[in-house]
Structure 1
Amino acid sequence: MQPTWQDVLEITEQYRHTKTEYWLSENVYTLSWWILLITSIGIFIVWIIILDKKRIFEIITYGFFVGTVAIYADVLGVWLDFWHYPITITPMHLPFEIHRLQMPIIYMVIYQYFKTWKTFLIAAAINAFIFAFPLESILVWLKVYEPIQWKHIYSLVPYFLIATVLRWIINKFKQLDKNYQ
Structure 2
Amino acid sequence: MENNHKVINIIDKNVDKIEDLIDIKIDLWREHVLFSGLWWMGVVLSIVPWIIWFMIRKRQSTDLLMYVGFYVMSISIMLDIIGDQIGLWHYRYHVIPVLPTYFPWDMTLMPITIMVMLQIHPKKNPWIKAIFFAILSSYVAEPFFTWLTVYNPVRWRFTYSVPIQIAIFMGAYWFSLRIKFTPLSEKDS
Structure 2 partner of 1:107:
114
Whether the 8 Å contact between 1:27 and 1:87 is mirrored in structure 2 is yes
Gaps of 5+ in 1: none
Q: Find the partner of 2:136 among 130, 136, 154.
A: 130
Higher normalized helix content (fraction of residues): 1
Deviation at 1:64, TM superposition (A): 0.4
- Partner AA of 2:114 in structure 1: Y
What does the per-residue CA deviation read over 1:1-50, in whole Å, with 9 as the maximum and x for residues that have no partner?
97623202311220220110111122112222122222222211101111
How many residues are treated as equivalent by the alignment?
Answer: 176
TM-score, with normalisation over the residues of structure 1? 0.88
For the pair 1:43 / 2:49, whether they are aligned, the reply is yes
Whether the 8 Å contact between 2:114 and 2:172 is mirrored in structure 1 is no
For the pair 1:12 / 2:44, whether they are aligned, the reply is no
Identity of aligned residues (%): 23
Whether the 8 Å contact between 1:36 and 1:97 is mirrored in structure 2 is yes
Counterparts of 1:22-171 in structure 2, within 5 Å, are 22-93=28-99, 94-118=101-125, 120-171=126-177
Whether the 8 Å contact between 1:114 and 1:123 is mirrored in structure 2 is no
Aligned-partner Cα distance in 2 for 1:55–1:14:
45
- Partner AA of 1:52 in structure 2: K
Deviation at 1:117, TM superposition (A): 4.7
TM-score, with normalisation over the residues of structure 2? 0.85
Aligned-partner Cα distance in 1 for 2:47–2:176:
27
Whether the 8 Å contact between 2:46 and 2:103 is mirrored in structure 1 is no
How much is the aligned-residue C-alpha RMSD, in angstroms? Answer: 2.0
